[in-house]
Amino acid sequence: MEKPAFETDCCAVNVVLGEEKKGHLIPNGNGHQAGVNGSLIGGAEGTGCGAAPGTMSSVEKPVPGYPEREQWTRQMDFIMSCVGFAVGLGNVWRFPYLCYKNGGGVFLIPYLIIGVVGGIPIFFLEIALGQFMKAGSINVWNIAPLFKGLGYASMVIVFFCNTYYIMVLAWAFYYFIKSFNATLPWSTCDNPWNTPSCIEIFHHEDCLNGTIGNTTYGNMTCEELADGRSPIIEFWEHKVLNISQGLDYPGSINWELLLCLAAVWVMVYFCVWKGVKSTGKIVYFTATFPYVVLIILLVRGVTLPGAYDGIMYYIKPDWSKLGEAQVWIDAGTQIFFSYAIGLGALTALGSYNRFNNDCYKDAFMLALINSGTSFFAGFVVFAILGFMANEQGVDISQVAETGPGLAFIAYPKAVTLMPMPPVWAALFFFMLLVLGLDSQFVGVEGFVTGILDLFPGKYYMRYKREISVAICCLMCFIIDLSMVTQGGMYVFQLFDYYSASGMTLLWQAFWECIVVSWVYGADRFMDDIARMIGYRPFPWMKWCWSFITPCVCMGIFLFHLFNYKPLTYNNTYVYPWWGEVIGWCMALMSMLCIPVSVLYKLCRATGTFKERWEKLTKPQWGPHHLEYMAPDTDVKSLASLSASTEDKVIIFESGM
């Protein structure tokens, strides 16, 4: 039942009347909302109407108001943006490999368990926090200002992510351009970059049957055929990457790849520069088109010889794997990686929601879509890998791989087997481009939102957003120049392994749970969510934030730390010591933001430790809390309501 707006005898609310009660904005005696156990940020200058007898009133110095925050045109814009961001290349190239590596269908058991106790609770936490605080990844931690370093840490991680992730899009765009040839350049061995070992057809079955003599095929014996290399691999390594001997041999710039990189950054810029009003429309295409192509590839893949064996390798359970710690670690890392937790972008997307949007249901639906896409993509991948293994006469373990190799070796092979290969190749690599593009521009949106939230209304400048997006894109582009050289793949792997790795995301997620559940208060935040969505979420969420999820995060984090192995490329090249130092510096740049900022603020504050702690953990409310908090909402009464309750409490919206 909708609550009527309460009457006021003053023309505007300009004074914050403090009353200590659980830190929420509550009504004072005259019907006005008051900032409680926290200060109100934003608002106009002026005088207020007196406090009710017996309450303590204090006039806060007003802070210049923030401009009205943008909102999604419709709620489906938010859903599609989250799908586009969270469902990315990691679902297509990483999950299927991990599933095969860790016991096939058995891997789903730890994957689902860790998803329920770790992934979904933090996924919901980040979206709900952004929606409640109406702020990006930095200002959202005004809920506990002492730990604002969490926001800076997520900004560092997402900046690094934006910097190196776009290289995958540049490679996809490069393949897309090369697809417009009558003969695909990676399907033949008569190109300048091919070596004498290049073989288009392997003839393994004929060799096994003894029907090929020593000189029947290209003057090569069966032993030499066994050591042959596919033109697809040679195109990737010798033409696209033109890879050097190591990290200390950067070599020359690949100018074709540089132009592709510039073109992709231009696309990202024009997707983001106008904010969520434009971004929310673009994702309708970028989030749904990849599913169409994946379905088409699956239909074609299951008709190929060897596809059944490939799919069986994917889903056949190996129950003995459940007892291995590495299986559970891989499941946890993949959950945090594919759900895009700890990057701050989910918080930014949630901040553009309506205050009373049901983010609880949204979180479960988005998690289901994310994990379902990963599982579905596995059938597509392993149907194709099964065919490749059958064609080459080798075990599938020799063709199953993860990372860029899967996207740019296994899939290109699949499209060459279809009628009119150039058409399918262009379609596939366009899908790969849009699959990563929405993840990329939502990541940039999250970074820019966090930056702009630091500058309130008094710093308003025309085209502020457009200029900020341009600066962000330009900075990332300059760093990316190191990845379009001959040694660029080594730099790319360095960023991927350290800057936005499982350890940094787990560290971030651990502190998010600790701050919300133990500093701000899990019960308080559950009350806040109840005020937003009209009912209290199942207590499982509170238990996860308080106990289970932090233990899971820290356990996997420590396992990673104790079982650390130096970075290698293709299991052969070992990175030099100074390369590892650079990698650890990138990881620590985000991880140290949290403890360093806490120590700095505590040292700068005055008073006893208890006084400093109370002052620095006091929430800073925004003006929207004053507007939306109902003066007579009994949060405790919402405990009996469930998500399916017909009579939902509609949160009060003031006409002030």
- As a dihedral over the C-alpha atoms of residue 598, residue 599, residue 601, residue 607, rounded to 10 degrees, the angle is 120
The first and second tokens of residue 224, run together, are 């030499």
CB 175 within 8 A of CB 409: no
d(CA 406, CA 441): 23
CB 350 within 8 A of CB 359: yes
d(CA 169, CA 241): 14
Q: Is 91 annotated as a binding residue?
A: yes
- DSSP letter string over 52-106? PTT-----PPPPPPPPPPP--SSHHHHHHHHHHHHSSHHHHHTHHHHHHHTTGGG
Q: Give the burial class of 643: count Cβ atoms within 10 A of its Cβ; 0-12 exposed, 13-18 middle, 19 or more buried.
A: middle
Provide the angle, in degrees to the nearest 10, between the axes of the packed helices 359-392 and 289-301: 30
The first and second tokens of residue 463, run together, are 């085209």
The first and second tokens of residue 390, run together, are 């059958």
How large is the C-alpha radius of gyration of the chain? 27
Q: Which helix (H) or strand (E) holds 573?
A: strand 573-574
Q: Is 370 annotated as a binding residue?
A: yes
Residue 552's nearest CA partner among 598, 512, 609 is: 512
Q: Is 84 annotated as a binding residue?
A: yes
Q: Is 187 annotated as a binding residue?
A: no
Q: Could you tell me how far CA 134 lies from the centroid of its own chain?
A: 19
CB 96 within 8 A of CB 381: yes
Q: Is 439 annotated as a binding residue?
A: yes
The first and second tokens of residue 117, run together, are 């106790």
Q: Is 87 annotated as a binding residue?
A: yes
Q: Is 40 annotated as a binding residue?
A: no
The first and second tokens of residue 622, run together, are 């925004």
Q: Which residue has the tokens 């140290």?
A: 592
HSE on the CB side for 528, CA within 13 Å? 26
CB 280 within 8 A of CB 81: yes
CB 101 within 8 A of CB 447: no
Question: Phi then psi for 510, rounded to 5 degrees?
Answer: -60, -50
Tell me the residue length of the chain. 656
Alpha-carbon torsion 313, 315, 317, 320, what sign?
A: positive
In the annotated binding site for Na(+), the residues are: 84, 86-87, 91, 338, 370, 435, 438-439
Instruction: State the binding site.
Output: 84, 86-87, 91, 338, 370, 435, 438-439
